[in-house]
Amino acid sequence: MLAEIGIRVNLRIRSAGELNELVQTHATDLYRWGYDEELDSSYVFRARYDSRAAMNTGYADPEVDRLIEAIEAEISTYPRLGLIEQVWRKVLDDIVYVPLYRVVNVWAMRERLDMPMGINPWPVFKFARVKEGGPG
């Protein structure tokens, strides 16, 4: 898909440690990184937008750093969400990252399979159970 818009890439699969080194030393212009995160954006902010973050690609804004500190100190839900919204508005306006796609997982299963969902948007396979009777 990148070639369709004139971007030529050479895919190189790296270990997490190697990729981490490339990003931290600014030795790569484009990368795909995936990880689990908390239920709100504080981890993403601390890891990617804080000027002192190891995975920061050079973005630095003292106001964003201050807001990240305030988010981590705030324990009340609505004030915390308000701070999170302020950071998102700022970094999206600054165009810090250009997302190329969003990964979407699609799950399908038989009706007889009981597959509880965890707090993350994917099934917890270790808790799967086959229901007695019924179709499937």
| Lowest mean pLDDT, pick from 30-34, 110-114, 126-130 | 30-34
Do 23 and 69 sit in the same domain of this protein?
no
Pair of tokens at residue 28: 């790569």
> Beta strands of the chain (E only): which ranges?
113-114, 129-130
Vertex 60: Cα angle to 70 and 19 (nearest 5): 105
Calculate the average pLDDT of the chain: 81
120-133 pLDDT, tens digit per residue, is: 666 677 778 888 76
Mean pLDDT of 32-44: 69
Answer whether residue 106 shows pLDDT above 70: no
Give yes or no for residue 108 having a pLDDT over 60.
yes
Instruction: Note the pTM of the prediction, 2 decimals.
Output: 0.54
Overall domain count for the chain: 3
Q: Determine the structural domain holding residue 125 and report its residue range.
A: 105-136
Average pLDDT of span 110-119 = 74
**Residue 96 and residue 43 share a domain:** yes
72 and 113: one domain?
no
89 and 112 inside one domain: no
Task: Examine the domain organization and report whether 2 and 60 are in the same domain.
Answer: no
* pLDDT of the residue at 93: 92
Residue 76 sits in the same domain as residue 92: yes
Q: Quick one: pLDDT at residue 5?
A: 86
CA-to-CA distance for 112 and 72, rounded, in angstroms? 43
Q: Are residues 41 and 99 in the same domain?
A: yes
Higher pLDDT, 49 or 124: 49
